[in-house]
Amino acid sequence: MIGLLTSLSPDEQRLLSDAPPGAELAAQPMLATLSDRRDFGAGGWVFERKLDGVRVLAVRDADGIRLLSRNGLRQNGTYPEIVDALKAQDTLDFVLDGEVVAYSHGRTDFARLQQRLGITDERQARASHVAVSYYVFDILRLDGADVTRLPLRTRKSLLRRALSYQAPLRFTPHRNEGGQELLDRACRHGWEGLIAKRATGGYQPRRSGDWLKLKCERGQEFVVGGFTEPAGSRTGFGALLLGYYEGPRLRYAGKVGTGYDRTALRDIRRRLDDLEIAKAPFADRIPEHTAHWARPELVAQIGFTEWTKDGMLRHPRFLGLRDDKEPREVVREEAEGGASVSGR
């Protein structure tokens, strides 16, 4: 595969350098910024589908293959079929960036993927009825070279040619033109939204305005700081009490009581009982008479329609727990010009 790098133009070859160890290069993935922008002109951006899954970086080098979450947790036991697909590649040295998803009725479904996230035993993962796909959308290292300074279009060309794509490994397609019309079409198809990426941009190990999230509906991660008791025939708990960090303070964002099945209600209650504390972790006063408090260690993915004027979530629904995000990273998402944002 050295030929792929020698096929680059002289100007592009000058942007190459010796790569640091693969795991080190994968330690700080590039993150997108939430945006309301819809006018992108022509030619300067590419547009990818925003997938409803979890970020995974894949490293292959002399030490073997490692799948890593965005916060560095090893995922080999969770997705052994992806390890198999990468092990079968002719290319022996790479770092990839991508998203692992599960499908339900033709759409990516985070709630379905949730059934694989807690599995760490390879045999149990292989026996799971939840099939996953790994959509790769960027390459950071190839044959010992750091390619992150290359333009995105060049990196995607290398990525397409460096690997063989068979299930569960997928190349993430893109469009060269987009805006409101393309986003509207994506939303009609039930997609989560689009990622707009600057075509000439390099891969930056930080959050950048060169990658923009264009969402069909609101949704983000929240920290679980407590729960209410169930009522009637319901088991487990009534609702989760949610928050986000504003500096060192955990601000209250409301409660979510929908989106759970009976298994989730039982499993989450068991985890919350282990985290129970005597004092509320929120900086705000919480008007819940049956509240139990929990150490803010669990992170939940929540969909909702909007923020109310008093800073609460409107019509929230639970989508699943995540283990790829540190609670202290969870802040209130705002479009460009607002606060810091979270997520891919």
Instruction: Note whether residue 297 is domain-resident.
Output: yes
Q: Is 50 a catalytic residue?
A: yes
Q: Residue 151 and residue 36: Cα distance in Å, rounded?
A: 24
Last residue in a domain, options 215, 247, 266: 215
Whether residue 1 has pLDDT greater than 70: no
Residue of 50, 156, 213, 255 with catalytic role:
50
User: Model confidence over 243-268: pLDDT tens digits?
Assistant: 999 999 999 999 999 999 999 999 99
87 within 8 A of 65, measured Cβ to Cβ: yes
User: Model confidence over 55-111: pLDDT tens digits?
Assistant: 999 999 999 999 999 989 999 999 999 999 999 999 999 999 999 999 988 888 888
What pLDDT does 243 receive?
A: 97
Whether residue 341 has pLDDT greater than 50: no
Q: CA 286: distance to chain centroid?
A: 30
Residues 15 and 121 both lie in one domain: yes
In total, how many domains does the chain have? 2
Residues 182 and 228 both lie in one domain: no
Residues 310 and 323 both lie in one domain: yes
Q: Residue 127 and residue 131: Cα distance in Å, rounded?
A: 10
Last residue in a domain, options 180, 215, 250: 215
Three-class DSSP category at 142: strand
What pLDDT does 2 receive?
A: 57
151 within 8 A of 106, measured Cβ to Cβ: no
Last residue in a domain, options 163, 185, 215: 215
Whether residue 223 has pLDDT greater than 90: yes
Residues 193 and 286 both lie in one domain: no
